Every structure is written in structure tokens, then in C-alpha cells.
Amino acid sequence: MQTALNTPSTPRAVPSTPPQQQRDTAGSPTGQNLAHYQIIRRNGAVVPFEPNKIAIAMMKAFLAVHGTQGAASASVRETVDVLTQGVIRAMVRSRPGGGTFHIEDVQDQVELGLMRGGHHEIARAYVLYRERRTQERSKQVEQETPATPTLHVLDNGERVALDLNQLKGLIESACENLGDSITAQPIVAETMRNLYDGVPLDEVYKASILAARTLIEKDPDYTFATARLLLHTIFKEIIGREVMPVDRATAYADYFPQFIKKGVENDLLDEKLLQYDLPRLGAALKAERDNQFDYLGLQTLYDRYFLHVRKTRIELPQAFFMRVAMGLSLGEIDREARAIEFYEVLSSFDFMSSTPTLFNAGTLRSQLSSCYLTTVPDDLDGIYESIKENALLSKFAGGLGNDWTRVRALGSHIKGTNGESQGVVPFLKVVNDTAVAVNQGGKRKGAVCTYLESWHLDIEEFLELRKNTGDDRRRTHDMNTANWIPDLFMRRVMEKGTWTLFSPSNVPDLHDLFGADFERAYVAYEEKAARGEIKPSRTVQASDLWRKMLTMLFETGHPWITFKDACNVRSPQQHAGVVHSSNLCTEITLNTSDTETAVCNLGSVNLLQHLKDGKVDQEKLKRTISTAMRMLDNVIDINYYAVKKARDSNLRHRPVGLGLMGFQDALYELRIPYASQEAVQFADESMEAICYHAYWASTELAKERGKYSSYKGSLWDKGILPIDTLDLLEQARGGYVEVDRSATLDWDALRQKIKADGMRNSNCVAIAPTATISNIIGVDASIEPCFGNLSVKSNLSGEFTVINHYLVRDLKRLGLWDDVMVMDLKHFDGSLRPIDRVPQDVKALYATAFEVETTWLVEAASRRQKWIDQAQSLNIYMAGASGKKLDDTYKLAWLRGLKTTYYLRTQSATHAEKSTVQSGRLNAVSSGNEAPSGMSALEAAAAAAKAQMSAMPATDIAFCGVDDPTCEACQ
């Protein structure tokens, strides 16, 4: 096999791209101006970047395996085109401003593109060809050993000889104290290979970063060396000179007051920050903590978070944390002491505030909240006022949850015009387009989730909003949707009963009722409808509607499954209103009304940092959470509110959402497999500790600052804690609650403390996805299992190889970590399961998300939920999805008392076990009244989705629950 990346000639056998495809790719990377990119050939020559050569190389690889007849295949040509686009897109994303690529780097991307596209046989042939050519070139080098030419660089426009010793010293310092396996030599060699005579000095430093980055898959500790090299360039950009590691503490102290002044002068920072004792705060910065960052974390901060003036960064990592701490201390009496306290928990990675807080704390527009919840009234003025609210909240980067249950259904009478309503769907199309039109602070399109209760007459059309077929005017492709399901519906499903659908204009009180009150009113309306007294209405089999919910969830990923009664019966604030929906990421359960827009401010504890002697370090956790709750409470008073209803609600109830991340990392440290009873028990005990200390911290704040305004009459006021509300839920359901009630801490002491001092915050705990902030501190997101032991994360900063360093540590100990293992992990999408030489106990400990049976995810979530006063963002991962498996999973979630679920992640048939799929048919949810041989709607959904799913490798599934990998609405 030959490759065009090694030869400029273009063989006639390779067909040209058809004119139609050329038009289609005009907006793709190959259709863009790539004149700013160049290729370094192996002889050091720099030549223009020619994308067509990638396509030629790809085609030759296919022809080598499939024979020359493949050249005539339209499918092969189309596949090559798609793969080429992907390769070029990845390269451009890695250096968006232009630059040079070594020929070997391009070939690495081709190899990666073939692997990720599932073309393993082609990739294998390509790898073997490259290896053979490398050996041939090595023989030539042995025969011809020309003298190494002196390289020159451009330093501030002056051409000087490259100081190789200085470069080696820089790289050696980046590798210090990272272990014997992390050495400077391969980084230096790779860096030199990517240089050419006359290269700008800044490009030399960039080349060293890229060189170190390529070694991360060989040993994950190279990520720290890469981060340190990046840190060197950041210091040079911001300080304006070379700063060696030993001098950084002094440099920080001198720079920090200047940074604050510069930020104020450029209208970035609040001038109140100038009132702080800046030299004292500068002296408190701990430069050594810069070494905690891995490459992904530091690059994410640099690209997305650090303040800049005309695209030049002015903020260093420790200054960033102190700026956030200062912004959160503005209302404190001893501001400097509190700022240092807040800085300590942030910079140590013990706790991290949410992305909006990190973005905006201390700035002129301090929009620090992550999520907003609204309810939409049933009148035209109210509907469009709500859409306007969405636009205003979205403008300042808030994630939105909208309750649309009150809006009347299709065919309902409109008294004012004597006409019939078009239902809720046309308005949702407007919401969808508003989210696209109003981008969030210039960062991304708006993020909205719409909720509809399951008795709404438009529910069946609502279920289909995300389908790719049907009338596009009644589709919302850019908006998330969720089912708001009452317990009565679930009981009807379990008992194979019927379910009646109404227009809310005819049953207006159902929206605000839950539990026994809802059931009484609903049954009375059913009786009226049966007598023909309520029109329009429609009766369906509850199991049929349930099956359609699961069908659409499987086919489109929406609407998510959330449970109305669990959210309301267990809400500490049910005396002050009703929870009508959750938020964008399903972890917030706060009341909404026409006068109140719910707001929640988020932050997360890093569980990994709070382990000691094989268990949770209670003392350290208490200290961290005490500080964290103070920070979150401060956000409420400092926050900028785009809507008055949001301000009124937040100041009245003062809810916050303390969450966690690094749950999977903690399991690794404790050597507990996720799929085990021990993991379920650890989920229980760790969540109990977090909640206990969060509630205790809120009582301490109440003692110092006073109770929240609506405290009187709350469940807190009545001495009822979240664990106690399981009894209320079981009573309301008449059973159907199967949850462990064990406890290990002294909850009676907490009850007495609350009785004496009250609570500062109506709600304290919510587990958000933490997709971005977990990247910053280098742990697995939230409560998620590990997605893959070796995988690629994509975000605005490019593509990052992510490798499980705990696994590498164990494989090194067993003598199993080598290049073959790296290739196997790539081939098997980060899974150890098919690799025979790995012991079973290691496979169990490092099982990936799709290898953990779904039941374990639900059981662990159930143990957490019993302690939490809000909810948790719970992704469901399912390999080999079947109708029965979906049915069992979501019924189990309801029985185990979960309030909400988030995305359903199903793995493609090419990766999942196929035992549940026979003859291309998916097993059905039984409706109780259909013939056993009848093909269910879920089977049809499986057939419809088969082509799309089989083409989607597991590594293409987004890490964050939100479809857009750049989404940061919820952290």
C-alpha cells in the first residue's frame, strides 16, 4: 500500500469528488481557507497544506484492503470524504489560528480517524504500512548520516540560533518529580522534529506542548508535563518575560495588584476589588498549586475562563481563583480573611464553584447563577412574556427549565375569539427558535428544557418533538424536553389501568395538585369526562402511553423521565408553593409561580480530596462544606438578576445546590468496582456525610445571618428532614417505595440544631453534571461512571486524549502496560473486557459506563436521593437496550424513590452485547392486552434507529449530558 502523504503524485485510480459533494462541503474545513497551515516534511522542508492528499491516502488505504473495485464504490468515496472532513476538522481545531503540522502528525490523525470511524481493518493495514516505511527509512538513515543543521528562530523579529540547552532545560523542569517514566528526551526529540529553520520562538514553545501532548497516551503523567509547558507560555504572555518555576511565587505577588488594576481599568472587574488589601492577597497566592493542573484542565481555563483584553490573557491560574474568591467576599466584614479562605478551597481543588460563578465573580456583570425555572401561564400575554424572560435569562448564560403544562391543548375552546387552540406545540417551536437566536453571552446557543405533565392532551405530540421525521413546523430540534409524571400514572401503568388526557383549561387545578389531592381531583375529572361533561378529552391505556414515552426516549433521547410527586411530596418548601418542573439538567426541584422564577446557584465538592484511611474524611469534609455553603449563600446577595421575579424568589427562599464530583475516582482509590454492593454502600455513606454537613452549615449560617424569609411552615421548621420524607412519599403512593432507610450519623442532633437556629437556605443539595469544572480539576464528572479508559474528549479547545491513570498505575504494577495495551484500548474503545491478559478483578474495577449494569446506577442513585433535598442529574447508560430493559430500569427508578433522570445513553449495536436483540427486533414492553407476537412500538423504534446507531461508535457519545459539548449552563 502507498500513501499520498508520502508522495506528491496523484494516481488516476482515485476518483475525484462529485460536483454535488463539492458543493456540500463548501462550509466544511476543506471548503475553508487553509492557506495559514503548512506541512513539515521529513526532510525539514515546509510545504503548503494540501487537504486532497489526505483523501488520496484514505482512498489508497481502502483500495489496499478492498481491491481496486472499491474506487468505483460510491459508498467508499462518501466514507473517504466524511473521514477526510473529520481529520481536517480535528487538525484545524487543534490550531485554530493556523500553524504547521509534521507529516507524522497528519498520519496520526488519519489513523485515529479510521479507528474512530470503526474501520479497524483499514486502520490496521495503514498502521502496518507506516511501520514498514519507518523501518525502511531507518535503514536509509543508518547509511546516510548528514550533519544536523543549526536551527534559527525569530525572537521579536530577530533571527538568532535556537538555544537548544535552554529548550532542554525548560522541558526537563516540566518533567521534574513526575516519576522515572516521564523524561524530557522524547519531548525534545518530537519538538525538534516539528521545527524548521526560521520558526518563530513562540512556535517553538507551542511545538514542545504539542510534542508532550502526543505522549499522554503512552503515560498519562505526561499530561502534567504538558500542562507545565503550557503554563510557561501563559506566564510569558501575561508577565511579558520568561518566569522559571522557582521565581513564580515572587512573580505572582508582584503581578497580582497590577492585574486587579488592569482589570478595573479595562472595565472587566468591579472597582470594589481595588478596596481589598491587594499585597496581602497577592502574598497568599500559592504558586506551587499550578502544578496540580493536568493539560486538559489548564487548557480549558486558558481558553474559556481567564480574563483577556483584546484576546490577550491577563489572568494567571492562582489569580483567577483569588479573583473569584474576592468576588464572593464583597459582602463580608473581614473581606481579606474570607477571600483567602475561599481561595484555599478553590485552589486546592477541594471545592469548585459552577461555571457562571467562575466566569463572572468579581466582574462588572456578576451573573453567577447556573439555572432558572419558570412556569408559563395560559394566556397570550403571559406566554410571550415568558418567552421574553427566557431570552433575557439565556442572554446572561443561564440554563432554563420551563413548565408548559398550563397552556391549553389542541382543539380547546378559546373564549375570546370563539375559536380553537392550536395547542402547546406551536409555542414550543418559538421557544426553540428563541434559544437558537439568543446566544449566551456570545458563548453558545441558549439551553432550554420544556416540561409537560403526562395528563396533558398534547402529550403524545409532545413526545415526538425531537423526531427527525414529520412536519418540521411541529418539531423542536434544538430544545430539550422532559415528561413530568405523576405517581397516579405510574400506578396505572403498574396495574395495567387506563389514563385520561385533558386540556388544562378544563382541569386548571391539576397543575398545582400532587399526592392524594391530585388523585381525588383527577378521578373526579375522569368521571365527568366519562359522562361527556369535559371535552376535549381522550382515554388511553396507561401502558401504551408509557411504552410510547420509552420508545421516544430510545429513539430521540427525549423526553426525559422525571417524577412530579417525588419532587413535591419530599420538597421542604411545599408550604410555599409547588414544584412544576425541574431545570435543564434535572437536578433542581424548586417552586415556581407567576410571581416567582426559581434560581439555583451551584458548586461541587471534590469527593476524591476527602478520603482518609479508606473512608470519607468527615472532619475535612465538614470544613470544606462549611466554607462552600458560605460561598454559595453569598452568591445570592451578590448575583446579578436579569428578571425581577428571579431576584424576589432567590432572596426570599435562598436555595443553593451543593453537589459532588469525582465519585468514580474515589471508588478507584478505595478499589471498589462501580457495579458492586460496596459502591452502593459508599454512595449512601458519602452522600449522607455531604448532606449532613451541608444542612449543618446552613443552620450555622442561619444563626449568624438569620433564617430565610419563608422558613416558617417548612418541613425544616416542622423537624422533618429529607430522610424522613420517604415515609411521606410511601404514604402518598400507598406503597411503591422500596428504599433502604439506614443511617450512620447523628441526625437527631441536627434536628435539634435546626429547631434552635433554623435554616439559612430553603434547599441545600443538588448534584449537577459538573462536565466542565471536573475537567478543570482532573476528575470524573459528578456521579458518572468512567466513560472509557482511553478516549478522546472534544471541546472548544480541541481534542484531548484522556487516559485512566489509575488503570495505568495498576497495569504497570502487573507488567501489562505497553504499546500493545495502548493499541488494544484504542481498538476496543477504552474497554478492558475483550483483552484476555488483564485479570478479572482489574476488569471489574475499571469497567466502563456501558459495562456497568444499569441497575447499579439506579441503586446507587437511590441511596443518594434519600438524603438530598433536591435531586441529581443521573444519566442512564444502557448497552444492548431492549424494551423490557428500559421498562424495568425506569420502573425501578420510580420504585427506588428517584425524583428525576437525565439522558438515556444507549450504545450502538456494533459495541453492545446482542443477546437482547433478535432478528433486528427489540423486545417489547408488555401492554397487558396485546398478542405476544405483535411487534411493539419499541421494536419499530429500534428498526428506525438502527442505521443511525450502528454508525455511531461509543466514543462519539458526548461526555456531558447536554448534546452540545461546549455547553456550560450547568457547570
Residue 19 has pLDDT above 50, yes or no: no
Give the up-direction half-sphere exposure of residue 758: CA atoms within 13 A in the CB hemisphere: 18
For the chain, what are the domain ranges?
19-143, 156-348
Is 587 a residue of the active site? yes
Q: d(Cα 174, Cα 706) in Å, to the nearest integer?
A: 50
Give the span between the Cα atoms of 545 and 561, in whole angstroms.
13
**464 or 33: which leads in pLDDT:** 464
> d(Cα 642, Cα 648) in Å, to the nearest integer?
11
Residue 445: name the closest of 433, 457, 455 by CA: 433
Residue 324 has pLDDT above 50, yes or no: yes
Task: For residue 128, give the C-alpha cell.
Answer: 502496518
Q: Which pLDDT band, with edges at 50, 70 and 90, does 196 fall under? A: confident
pLDDT of residue 439: 64
CB 352 within 8 A of CB 361: no
Count of other CB atoms within 10 angstroms of residue 809? 13
Can 583 be counted among the known catalytic residues? yes
Helices within 828-882 (DSSP H only): 840-845, 854-865
What would the pLDDT profile of 446-493 be if each residue is shown by its tens digit? 589 999 999 999 999 999 999 988 888 889 888 999 999 999 999 999
How many CB atoms are located within 10 Å of the residue 236 CB?
15
Rounded to two decimals, the pTM is 0.82
User: In sequence order, which residues have a C-beta less than 8 Å from that of residue 263 and are 6 or more positions away?
Assistant: 269, 273, 307, 314, 315, 323
Distance CA 970, CA 449 (A): 12
Distance from C-alpha of 442 to C-alpha of 431, rounded to nearest angstrom: 19
Which one, of 330, 909, 842, 834, lies nearest residue 631 by Cα?
330
Map grid coordinates 411487534 to a residue. 935
User: Residue 142 has what pLDDT?
Assistant: 53
Q: Exposed/middle/buried for 770, CB within 10 Å: 0-12, 13-18, 19+?
A: buried
d(CA 935, CA 386): 42
Lowest mean pLDDT across 39-43, 432-436, 658-662, 664-668? 39-43
**Average of per-residue pLDDT values in the chain:** 85
**What pLDDT, on a 0 to 100 scale, did the predictor assign at position 827?**
85
**Which residues fall within 8 angstroms of residue 436, CB to CB, at 6 or more apart?**
445, 446, 478
pLDDT-based confidence at residue 12 (cuts at 50, 70, 90): very low
Rounded distance, CA 90 to CA 816, Å?
31
Within 10 angstroms of residue 34's Cβ, the number of other Cβ atoms is: 17
**305-324 as b/e: b if 16+ CB within 10 A:** bbbeeeeebbbbbbbbbbbb
pLDDT over 60 at 433, yes or no: yes
pLDDT at 907: 80
Catalytic residue of the set 567, 585, 600, 970: 585
Angle at 725 between CA 724 and CA 727, to 5 degrees: 80
**What whole-number distance in Å separates Cα of residue 885 and Cα of residue 855?**
10
Catalytic residue among 111, 217, 519, 587: 587
* Contact assessment for residue 364 and residue 269, using Cβ atoms and an 8 Å cutoff: yes
Q: Are strands 37-40 and 99-102 parallel, antiparallel or unpaired?
A: parallel
- Show contacts of 68-77: CB within 8 Å, 24+ apart: 68/13, 71/13, 71/14, 71/15, 72/15, 77/15, 77/17, 77/18, 77/21
Which residue of the set 194, 480, 583, 761 is catalytic?
Answer: 583
Tell me the per-residue pLDDT of 349-380, one tens digit each, with 9 for 90 and over. 999 999 999 999 999 988 898 889 999 999 99
Q: Which of 106-110, 506-510, 584-588, 737-741 has the lowest mean pLDDT?
A: 106-110
- Residue 46 confidence (pLDDT): 78
**Per-residue pLDDT tens over the stretch 585-643:** 999 999 999 999 999 899 999 999 999 999 999 999 999 999 999 999 999 999 999 88
Burial bucket for residue 204 (CB in 10 Å: 0-12, 13-18, 19+) = buried
Residue 526, H or E segment: helix 515-530
Q: How confident is the model at residue 891 (pLDDT cuts 50, 70, 90)?
A: very high
| Average pLDDT estimate for 396-424 | 83
Residue 960 has pLDDT above 80, yes or no: no
